[in-house]
Amino acid sequence: MSALSLLPARRSVPGVFVALTLTLTIGWLVVLLDGGQLFNQSTTVSLLHVAAGLGLVAVGQTLVILGGSLDLSVAYVISLSTLVAAETMNGSDGAVLPAIGLVLVVSAGVGLLNGLLVTRFRVNAFIATLGVGLLLKGYLDNGYDGPAGTTAPSLVQALGYQRVGPVPVSFLLLIAVTAAAWFALSRTRFGHHLVAVGGDPEVARLSGVRNDRVLVTAHVLCSMCAGLAGIYLASRLGSGAPRVGTEGLYDLESIAAVVIGGTALAGGRGGVIGTVGGVLLLASIDAIFNQLEVDAFFKQVIRGVIIIAAVAVYARRAMRKAA
């Protein structure tokens, strides 16, 4: 049959890894010509640190976007989480576990709120999560002018700076979270249902999927990922920082990483592996430009061009598939 011969055996490597390899090769050459070295210990480590923070958020963001939703509140959840973590620990190593637990509970609560607004109250995800984010912003702006609390030294040591070779522990945490998310998407009913809800809510509903429950779960997981990112940042900074999430542009950058990683913004197609590729790509560009000491504004321009180019490439590919 004619349609069968068109079938590839397996899905190919996401295009983002091709782009990543290209970027690193070109970056390495350019930095070399400039008289520097891209892959020395300190740049590699800092690249992976940047990737770890953004990656934790982006993996969570992937889940909600796959389900056809979106989370704009992650940046504020991160800021809040750094404060909850640092203030609960208050410099005491004994309070690390309770602090982590509390952060996860608080962030899960925010995710639950997001999820319920999107499903029960049918508020558009963009508006609902933006509103929740502003709510958190109000609380943070009102209560904090600057850093507060102290992260326990043991956590700073372990999560903030500990390395295995050139790989920071935080990046290993990202790998673990990514693996868990990948496993959930491919091997659990929740994962299958989430992708179905994002692909076509009506088809999912008619097939017996409880759309609302699936989407709320995704939002809770997304916020918890942002909470983890907050814990990591608190251990990096040594204290809680009320504006670290927004200053790091974690909301928009996480969405950008997801999209660069090949997940459809409308949901239903993509995965966390691609997202990690997108995160690494953004972090690499950062590292290369830092090495070249490129003007910060120009750096932003380049990032913008890359994001647009990535989406355009995917759109073209989708169009060709449809034709």
Partner 1 sequence: MSDPPPTPLLTLRGIGKSFLGVRVLDGVDLDVAPGEVHAVVGENGAGKSTLMKIVSGGYAPDGGTVEFAGATRTFRGPRDAQRAGIGIIHQEFNLLPERTVAENVYLGHEPVRRGLVDRRGMLDRTTRLLASIGETTLPADARVGQLGVAQQQVVEIAKALALDARLLIMDEPTAALADHEVELLYGLVRRLQERGIGLLYVSHRLAEVFDLSGRITVLKDGRRVTTVDTADTTADQLVRHMVGRELSSYYPDRAAPEDRGPVRLNLRDAGNRKLRDVNLQLRAGEVLGIGGLQGSGRSALARAIFGVSPFTTGDVTLDDRPVRLRSPRTAMRAGIAYVTEDRKGEGIVPRQSVLDNALLASRAVFAARSGRAARTARVRELLAAVEIRGAGDDQEIRFLSGGNQQKVVLARWLALNPRILLFDEPTRGIDVGAKSAIHDLVRRLARDGAAVLMISSDLPELLGMSDRIVVMRDGHVAGELPAGATEEEVVALAVGAVREPVQ
Q: Which of 49, 137, 193, 236 binds partner 1 (CB under 8 A)?
A: 193
Q: Least distance in Å: CB of 269 to partner 1?
A: 4
Q: Least distance in Å: CB of 190 to partner 1?
A: 9
Kindly tell me which of 8 and 35 has the beta carbon lying closer to partner 1: 8
Pair 30, 288: CB distance under 8 Å? yes
Q: Does 319 bind partner 1 (CB under 8 A)?
A: no
> Position 25: which residue type?
T
**Contact mark string toward partner 1, 268..307, x via CB under 8 A:** xx--------------------------------------
How far apart, in whole angstroms, are the C-alpha atoms of residue 89 and residue 83? 10
Number of residues that bind partner 1 (CB under 8 A): 29
Q: Does 4 bind partner 1 (CB under 8 A)?
A: yes
Q: Does 164 bind partner 1 (CB under 8 A)?
A: no
Q: Least distance in Å: CB of 140 to partner 1?
A: 38
Q: Which of 72, 196, 216, 288 binds partner 1 (CB under 8 A)?
A: 196
Closest CA to 173 of 51, 17, 272: 51
Q: Does 21 bind partner 1 (CB under 8 A)?
A: no
How far apart, in whole angstroms, are the C-alpha atoms of residue 149 and residue 147? 7
Kindly tell me which of 6 and 319 has the beta carbon lying closer to partner 1: 6
How far apart, in whole angstroms, are the C-alpha atoms of residue 307 and residue 112? 30
Closest CA to 88 of 139, 155, 151, 153: 151
How far apart, in whole angstroms, are the C-alpha atoms of residue 43 and residue 60? 26
Q: Which of 195, 226, 259, 260 binds partner 1 (CB under 8 A)?
A: 195
Q: Which of 37, 41, 188, 300 binds partner 1 (CB under 8 A)?
A: 188
Q: Least distance in Å: CB of 217 to partner 1?
A: 15
Q: Which of 25, 41, 207, 300 binds partner 1 (CB under 8 A)?
A: 207
Q: Which of 143, 180, 187, 317 binds partner 1 (CB under 8 A)?
A: 187
Q: Least distance in Å: CB of 197 to partner 1?
A: 10
How far apart, in whole angstroms, are the C-alpha atoms of residue 136 and residue 130? 10
Tokens of 230: 């907050």
Alpha helices in the chain (DSSP H): 2-5, 15-33, 41-66, 74-89, 96-119, 125-143, 153-155, 169-187, 189-199, 201-206, 211-237, 244-247, 250-260, 272-292, 296-322
Q: Does 243 bind partner 1 (CB under 8 A)?
A: no
Measure the N-to-C terminal CA separation of the chain; round to a whole number of Å: 19
Kindly tell me which of 191 and 230 has the beta carbon lying closer to partner 1: 191
How far apart, in whole angstroms, are the C-alpha atoms of residue 73 and residue 279? 19
Q: Least distance in Å: CB of 321 to partner 1?
A: 7
Q: What does the binding site for partner 1 look like in residue numbers (CB under 8 A)?
A: 1-4, 6-7, 11, 186-189, 191-193, 195-196, 199-200, 202-209, 268-269, 321
